[in-house]
């Protein structure tokens, strides 16, 4: 593993240089990788592994998602199967269904986990909260995870562009003595940029915090707050949206991604620079108690319980659509639809 300095803290990471694709292919040359579920992470991971030369099959119930897999080039009876047949054929079972769906399918999956097989996750939820999910892997199989730090769509897009999405990896159970190298090989196979080690508990607590925090929940809350203040003070929807969302996502965040926040600060106007330096700490101080409350709720298992309870209800999809409709039909995101339609096409 390579030692990298992260702000004065040394950390071991795995890069493609030290664990190249050729090595990953050799480690998994005798394995059939069965991707169960073709929803959020399934398409990106399976397509990347297929393009990288791994022996991959997909297990999916017939329906719209099955049809999507066919459209993506998976061949029924050859590389696309009903879930039970894929579980039978696979030596590495990639359990990529939603957390709620994993609970429902677990008895079926467990029945196919024969000694010597491997169970792969991209989220530590099911195993970490086993008292609530019932997901307890047999002792004679390897259990590990690779968690790309982004959506399956982003994982695939960056792979096609010749780039990679960083991923965490963790070993929960090493029955064979080779779980670690198999796990890292899977991480290289799905298209990771670099891999950093964690454990199942830390993966799920950081992930649940991030999703509810800066990745999705907090950012939507901050967008809404600034947009509403601007609108209440007479600014037009176009001005409020551009100043709140469009400039951030289209101009500033790409610069932060490429060079860091300090570089972006140093390369904006002195007026913007001064204001940003003066105001970031008050925003930190105002929101840190909310993040602490959120993390404690995750750590106590409250967020897992809410997810399991609500997402398992028969009318979950209908209730979800009501909440998403509230976002979609808000003035801010209606303005966003209009702004995106006006972006000039690149020639």
Averaged pLDDT for residues 306-328: 91
Closest by CA to 166, choosing from 13, 316, 271, 28, is 13
In a domain, 205, yes or no: no
- Residue 346 has a pLDDT of 62
Q: Average pLDDT, whole number, for the chain?
A: 94
Give the confidence band of 40 by pLDDT, cuts at 50, 70, 90: confident
Residues 189 and 256 in one domain: no
4-14 mean pLDDT = 87
Do 12 and 141 fall into the same domain? Answer: yes
Task: Give me the pLDDT at residue 196, please.
Answer: 94
Domain containing residue 66: CATH number: 3.40.50.720
- Catalytic residue positions, numbered: 123
Contact 28, 173 (CB under 8 A): no
Parallel, antiparallel, or unpaired: how do β-strands 142-148 and 165-173 relate?
A: antiparallel
Residues 86 and 214 reside in one and the same domain: no
Query: 141 and 249 share a domain?
Result: no
| One domain for residues 69 and 49 | yes
One domain, residues 184 and 223: no
Does 101 share its domain with 249? Answer: no
Asked whether residue 183 falls in the same domain as residue 254, the answer is no
Domain of residue 42, residue span: 2-198
Residue ending a domain, choose from 165, 198, 231: 198
Indicate if the pLDDT at residue 22 is higher than 60. yes
Helix, strand and coil content of the chain, in percent to the nearest 5, comes to 55, 15, 30
Q: How far is CA 39 from CA 42, 135, 149, 206, in A?
A: 6, 20, 16, 22
Q: Pick from 187, 156, 155: which is nearest to 171 by CA?
A: 187
pLDDT digits (tens, 9 = 90+) for 176-200: 999 999 999 999 999 998 999 999 9
Tokens 């909440």 sit at which residue? 323
How far apart CA 220 and CA 199 sit, in angstroms, is: 29
- Tens digit of pLDDT for each residue in 104-130? 999 999 999 999 999 999 999 999 999
Instruction: Flag whether 204 is in a domain.
Output: no
Beta bridge partners, 4, equal 11
Residue 78 in marked binding region: no
Grade residue 347 by pLDDT with cuts at 50, 70 and 90. low
CA 17 – CA 54 distance, rounded (Å): 19
197 labeled binding residue = no
User: 347 lies in a domain?
Assistant: no
Do both 153 and 217 map to the same domain?
no
| DSSP label at residue 303 | H
- 279 with 144, same domain: the answer is no
Give pLDDT tens digits for 217-237.
999 999 999 999 999 999 999
State yes or no: 331 annotated in a binding site: no
The answer to whether 228 is a known ligand-binding residue is: no
Both 283 and 170 in a single domain? no
Q: Which of 155, 176, 198 is the last residue in one of the domains?
A: 198
pTM of the model: 0.89
**272 and 321 in a common domain:** yes
Choose the final residue of a domain: 149, 175, 198: 198
Is 211 annotated in a binding site? The answer is yes
Domain count across the chain: 2
């Amino acid at each position: 593993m390579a030692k990298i300095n992260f702000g004065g803290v040394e950390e071991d990471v795995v890069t493609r240089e030290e664990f190249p694709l050729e090595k990953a292919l050799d480690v998994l040359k005798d394995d059939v990788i069965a991707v169960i579920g073709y929803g959020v992470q399934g398409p990106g991971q399976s397509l990347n592994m297929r393009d990288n030369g791994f022996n991959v099959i997909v297990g999916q119930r017939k329906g719209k998602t099955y049809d999507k897999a066919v459209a993506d080039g998976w061949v029924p009876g050859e590389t696309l199967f009903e879930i039970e047949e894929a579980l039978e054929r696979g030596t590495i079972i990639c359990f990529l269904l939603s957390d709620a769906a994993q609970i429902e399918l677990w008895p079926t999956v467990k029945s196919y986990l024969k000694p010597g097989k491997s169970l792969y996750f991209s989220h530590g939820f099911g195993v970490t909260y086993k008292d609530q999910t019932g997901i307890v892997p047999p002792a004679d199989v390897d259990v590990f995870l690779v968690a790309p730090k982004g959506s399956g769509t982003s994982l695939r897009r960056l792979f096609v562009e010749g780039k990679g999405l960083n991923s965490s990896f963790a070993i929960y159970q090493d029955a064979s003595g080779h779980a670690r190298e198999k796990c890292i090989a899977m991480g290289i196979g799905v298209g990771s940029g670099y891999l950093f080690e964690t454990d199942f508990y830390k993966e799920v607590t950081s992930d649940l915090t991030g999703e509810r925090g800066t990745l999705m929940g907090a950012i939507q809350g901050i967008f809404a707050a600034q947009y509403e203040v601007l609108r209440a003070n007479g600014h037009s929807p176009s001005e409020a949206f551009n100043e709140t969302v469009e400039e951030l996502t289209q101009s500033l965040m790409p610069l932060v991604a490429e060079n860091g926040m300090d570089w972006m600060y140093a390369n904006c106007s002195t007026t913007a620079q001064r204001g940003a330096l003066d105001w970031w700490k008050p925003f930190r101080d105002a929101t840190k108690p909310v993040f602490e409350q959120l993390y404690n709720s995750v750590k106590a298992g409250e967020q897992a319980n809410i997810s399991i309870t609500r997402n398992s209800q028969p009318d979950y999809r209908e209730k979800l659509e009501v909440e998403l409709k509230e976002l979609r039909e808000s003035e801010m995101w209606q303005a966003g639809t209009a702004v995106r339609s006006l972006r000039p096409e690149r020639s």
